[in-house]
């Protein structure tokens, strides 16, 4: 017994006498106030990492309550469009870096989103998830800080209030469901799509110089393209899904994400 106690005591003495390695620069992102030896791991920041989102309806700029035609020939108008993005990760010479505040709620009427800090580096690609990462998706929205896009204090937040979690994508509007497609745009369409299986990982190759104080990345979202392949008729199931009640329509919309979101050149 005494032998073990001695070993533990020696271990403790040895541990406490070591000078801890780490980042000792207080201006660095990963500054460690307990570190005494600089181990060269300091990460410095580039401020104001900005995401610019260009919302489109085909080639045209996005506009609510404006007639547009789907690939199926239906005339529609959007009244609401929102989408969560999460897990923004940038790949540079120093490896991958995931942003500390990874959630953004994208709306066509808002173009600029501040995503927080990105370490100085030369990045060659970035990726994010359309939707909400699985861990966050099953957290109580009341427990996020009020500033978070996921917080239920946020008036725009989208959550079902049950285990499936957040509504990742919301598309609402009116559609001409007539067989003759006579242009009377009066039937509601609702796409509320979520659940873990419907988040989509997207990656883009792009040279991003984050050596300056300000960094910007730009993407396009073609909200109309999300409805490709639909044929919204008088049959409600053809134009309404809350995901769990109509999975095929949710899956159809999600399949369009890859082409609907692109790098803005």
Q: Using CB under 8 A as the criterion, which residues of the chain lie in contact with another protein when the complex forms? A: 140-143, 146, 151-155, 157, 159-164, 244-245, 247
Q: Is the CB of 89 or the CB of 154 nearer to another protein?
A: 154
End-to-end CA distance of the chain: 70
**CA pair distance 255, 265, nearest whole angstrom:** 23
Q: Is the CB of 92 or the CB of 165 nearer to another protein?
A: 165
User: Could you tell me which residues come within 8 angstroms of residue 35 by beta carbon, excluding any fewer than 6 positions away?
Assistant: 20, 21, 22, 23, 24
Q: Is the CB of 18 or the CB of 146 nearer to another protein?
A: 146
Shortest distance, position 8 Cβ to another protein, whole Å: 32
Q: Is the CB of 4 or the CB of 162 nearer to another protein?
A: 162
Burial of 227: CB neighbours in 10 Å, binned 0-12, 13-18, 19+: buried
Shortest distance, position 255 Cβ to another protein, whole Å: 17
Q: Is the CB of 53 or the CB of 170 nearer to another protein?
A: 170
Shortest distance, position 209 Cβ to another protein, whole Å: 38
Triad 245, 250, 251: Cα angle to 5°: 125
Shortest distance, position 192 Cβ to another protein, whole Å: 9
**CA pair distance 216, 48, nearest whole angstrom:** 8
Contacts 24+ apart (CB under 8 A), 237-240: 239/175, 239/177, 239/187, 239/188, 239/189, 239/190, 240/188, 240/189, 240/190, 240/191
Q: Could you write out the DSSP letters of every residue in 52-72? A: EEEEEETTEEP-TT--EE-TT
Q: CA gyration radius for the chain?
A: 24
Q: Is the CB of 1 or the CB of 146 nearer to another protein?
A: 146
Shortest distance, position 167 Cβ to another protein, whole Å: 9
Closest Cα to residue 78, out of 262, 260, 236, 224? 224
Q: Is the CB of 83 or the CB of 150 nearer to another protein?
A: 150
Look at residue 73 and give its three-state secondary structure. Answer: coil
Report yes or no: 125 and 205 within 8 Å, Cβ to Cβ.
Answer: yes
Shortest distance, position 93 Cβ to another protein, whole Å: 41
Shortest distance, position 189 Cβ to another protein, whole Å: 14
């Amino acid at each position: 017994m005494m032998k073990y106690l001695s070993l533990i005591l020696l271990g403790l003495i040895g541990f406490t006498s070591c000078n801890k390695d780490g980042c000792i620069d207080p201006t660095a992102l990963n500054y460690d106030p307990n570190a005494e030896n600089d181990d060269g791991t300091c990460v410095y920041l580039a401020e104001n990492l900005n995401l610019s989102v260009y919302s489109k309806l085909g080639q045209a700029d996005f506009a609510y309550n404006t007639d547009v035609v789907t690939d199926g020939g239906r005339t529609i108008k959007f009244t609401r469009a929102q989408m969560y993005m999460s897990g923004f990760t940038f790949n540079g010479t120093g490896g991958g870096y995931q942003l500390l505040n990874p959630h953004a709620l994208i709306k066509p009427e808002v173009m600029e989103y501040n995503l927080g800090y990105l370490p100085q580096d030369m990045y060659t690609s970035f990726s994010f998830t359309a939707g909400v990462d699985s861990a966050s998706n099953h957290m109580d929205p009341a427990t996020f800080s009020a500033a978070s896009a996921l917080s239920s204090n946020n008036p725009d937040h989208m959550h079902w209030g049950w285990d499936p979690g957040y509504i990742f994508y919301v598309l609402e509007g009116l559609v001409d469901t007539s067989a003759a497609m006579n242009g009377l745009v009066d039937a509601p369409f609702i796409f509320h799509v979520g659940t873990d299986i419907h988040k989509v990982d997207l990656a883009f190759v792009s040279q991003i110089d984050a050596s300056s104080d300000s960094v910007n990345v730009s993407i396009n979202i073609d909200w109309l393209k999300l409805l490709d392949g639909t044929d919204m008729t008088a049959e409600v199931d053809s134009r309404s899904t809350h995901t769990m009640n109509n999975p095929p329509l949710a899956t159809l919309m999600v399949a369009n994400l890859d082409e609907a979101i692109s790098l803005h050149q």
